[in-house]
Amino acid sequence: MSKPTLHLGLIMTAAGVILWGAACSLMPNMSKTPTPPVKQPISTEDLFLQGVDQYRAGQFGHAKETFDRVISSQSRHLQAYNYRGRSLIELKQLSPASGDFDTCLQIDSRFAPAYSGKAMIFIQNKDYSSALSSLDQAISLDSNDSEAYYLKGIALGYQKKLELSIKALKKCLELKPNHAYAHYQLGLAYYQAGRKDLTIVHLEIFLRLAPAAPEADQVRKLLASLR
């Protein structure tokens, strides 16, 4: 007599169900875990704007590094060279800064800010004649370039040409009335010219616009001596 065949697939005793359930609990969880969102790469333009924010916040080293990345991605990004040059000036790296402004002019020979940037370097090197020549070029390309007039006022002031310095600084303020340092420089120019009343006016405006500026305490002392 043959032995009965056991059909295991049909044997569903209570114990068997329990054992199966226990076995299932020991199996690895095969459900998919949520995939974290893929971080989108930052665009070149957003990276450039990040560098501008860093520059304006006085984080010149970080700004320079950010503009390096912009330029490595887009080698003819005019404003990236311009802002990197300005960052390098603040970092006292004048030679590479000059190279960046030269590159700007190779890309666009009519880019006025590059001439202003080169003028900043000339002023730091006390080459005021070259600075003024560069600034005149900037102004010829953009007659509303407030920065060029501001720098021209500074360069003329160093040359002791007070009337011309005052004229340039006033033009800067005509274009940009809240330019704090134009008020500061104009106040000092009037002080040297013996115009106590206008010195007070412009230095008070400077303090109102930039109360925490590094020059603020000295300005307060000067104003106290003039009142």
Residue 10 has pLDDT above 70, yes or no: no
CA separation for the pair 52, 135 (Å, rounded): 23
Q: Is 89 exposed, middle or buried (0-12, 13-18, 19+ CB in 10 A)?
A: buried
Stated length of the chain: 227
Q: Closest Cα to residue 163, out of 140, 195, 130, 139? A: 195
pLDDT of residue 227: 83
pLDDT of residue 34: 63
Residue 71, SS3 per DSSP: helix
Instruction: Give the chain's domains with CATH numbers.
Output: 43-109 (1.25.40.10), 111-177 (1.25.40.10), 178-227 (no CATH)
pLDDT of residue 147: 96
Q: Closest Cα to residue 144, out of 122, 112, 120? A: 112
Mean pLDDT estimate for the chain: 86
Per-residue pLDDT reduced to its tens digit, 101-128? 999 999 999 999 999 999 999 999 999 9
Residue 93 has pLDDT above 60, yes or no: yes
The two three-digit tokens of residue 105, written as one number = 């002019």
Per-residue pLDDT reduced to its tens digit, 31-83? 556 666 666 778 999 999 999 999 999 999 999 999 999 999 999 999 999 99
